[in-house]
């Protein structure tokens, strides 16, 4: 059994979030990433406590994306950086380490995180992204892979 290097806590009710998680897992050929929907019943009304004393509540996780990487809690664009780096797409996110782009990316991500459901609705309506159905707490793309279900 492979122990994941990164455990991501994402909003499974956000279609764009599910879209990205599906794309990420498609590139995760070594199963280094574990996805955990914060709307899953196992996460309701609980506080996750790490060995180093850091904690994560559902309310925190609903504000920005969080992950556990090497035993530490990371959030926001750092989650994106490590996730895409682990699946061999570091060149896609390398700019996040450049100070000016990092600050701009943080601002952009905070805007997205706050308005992600409205942005998802807009993107689906105007760009026909055909995002996966996440209404059941599972993100899967019924158009291409009907039995590719993961939490």
Backbone angles phi, psi at 47, to 5 degrees: -115, 125
Q: Say how far apart CA 85 and CA 53 lie, in whole Å.
A: 26
Coil, strand, or helix at residue 139?
strand
Quick: pLDDT tens for 25-54.
999 999 999 998 988 887 766 778 787 888
Quick: pLDDT tens for 13-28.
888 888 899 999 999 9
Most confident of 35-44, 76-85, 121-130: 76-85
Task: Kindly tell me the number of DSSP H helices and DSSP E strands found in the chain.
Answer: 6, 6
Q: Say how far apart CA 140 and CA 142 lie, in whole Å.
A: 6
Q: Say how far apart CA 133 and CA 18 lie, in whole Å.
A: 8
Coil, strand, or helix at residue 36?
strand
Between 4 and 15, the higher pLDDT residue: 15
Going by DSSP bridges, is the β-strand pair 6-10/33-37 parallel, antiparallel, or unpaired?
Answer: parallel
pLDDT of residue 132: 52
Please identify which residue in the block is written with the tokens 């993961």.
150
Domain ranges of the chain: 6-127
Q: Say how far apart CA 83 and CA 6 lie, in whole Å.
A: 7
């Amino acid at each position: 059994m492979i122990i994941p290097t990164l455990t991501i806590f994402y909003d499974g009710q956000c279609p764009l979030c599910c879209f990205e998680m599906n794309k990420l897992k498609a590139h995760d050929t070594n199963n280094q990433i574990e996805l955990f929907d914060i709307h899953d019943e196992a996460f309701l009304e609980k506080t996750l406590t790490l060995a180093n004393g850091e904690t994560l509540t559902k309310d925190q996780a609903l504000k920005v994306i969080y992950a556990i990487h090497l035993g530490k809690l990371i959030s926001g664009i750092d989650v994106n950086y490590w996730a895409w780096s682990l699946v061999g797409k570091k060149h896609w996110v390398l700019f996040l380490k450049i100070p000016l782009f990092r600050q701009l990316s943080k601002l952009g991500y905070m805007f997205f995180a706050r308005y992600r459901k409205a942005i998802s609705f807009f993107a689906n309506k105007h760009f026909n992204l055909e995002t996966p159905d996440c209404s059941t707490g599972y993100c899967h793309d019924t158009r291409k892979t009907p039995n590719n279900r993961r939490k």
